[in-house]
Amino acid sequence: MNHTAKNKVLTWLVVILLIANAATITMFWLGKPKQPVQPKRQPKDFLIKKLKLDTNQQAQFEVLVKEHRAAVEQLREKIKGAKDNLFDLLKEQNVSDSTKRNAAAAVSVITEEIDLLTLNHFQKVRAFCNPEQQKKFDTIIHQVTGMMGQQRPPMGPGGPPSGGPDGDRPPPPNGQHGDKPPPPEE
């Protein structure tokens, strides 16, 4: 075989291999089964299921949840305003430590209001439970409050954190891995 014929054969072989590679990669992209989107676990649904709330209890619970959400949303708006005031201090020269602390304390006071509101909410929920449900409630309440904390991503300057393997995010709480909450106890 002469030199030109060898080059033609090798050229065609490389072209065929490139086409096969491209086809394989395309098949992987297009043929990859999509992960089913799992619905977020809602604390409300979790409590209803775990406590086995009856229809009347579920109706009472729904009213409490709506009231709680509305009140918390108002307080979150107040927190946003208080944080805006705190970070507006960056625009000023020579801000005293007491001014900084007062602005930060304003955020903390509203956060405390949310915590107390949530505590009162769960006291009301626990109150309409029967004794057996109250025992179960007492064992799962920490799971529920953990789920509530995961409802909203932490918002800082520039929006939610990007995450990723580069470590630009703090480690998850309680030894969790990734965005998955710990499995519920049975």
Least confident range of 34-48, 105-119, 130-144: 34-48
- More confident call, 79 vs 47: 79
Return the CATH number of the domain spanning residue range 43-152: 1.20.120.1490
Q: Are 117 and 135 in contact (CB under 8 A)?
A: no
In angstroms, the CA 129 to CA 33 distance is 44
Contact 75, 113 (CB under 8 A): yes
Q: Where are the domains of the chain?
A: 1-33, 43-152
What is the C-alpha separation between 143 and 136, in angstroms, rounded? 12
CA distances (Å), origin 132, targets 10, 52, 127, 159, 184:
78, 10, 12, 43, 19
**Residue 141 contacts residue 135 (beta carbons within 8 Å):** no
Question: Which element (helix H / strand E) includes 7?
Answer: helix 3-31
Q: What tens digit of pLDDT does each residue of 116-166 get?
A: 999 999 999 999 999 999 999 899 888 888 877 655 544 444 444 444 444
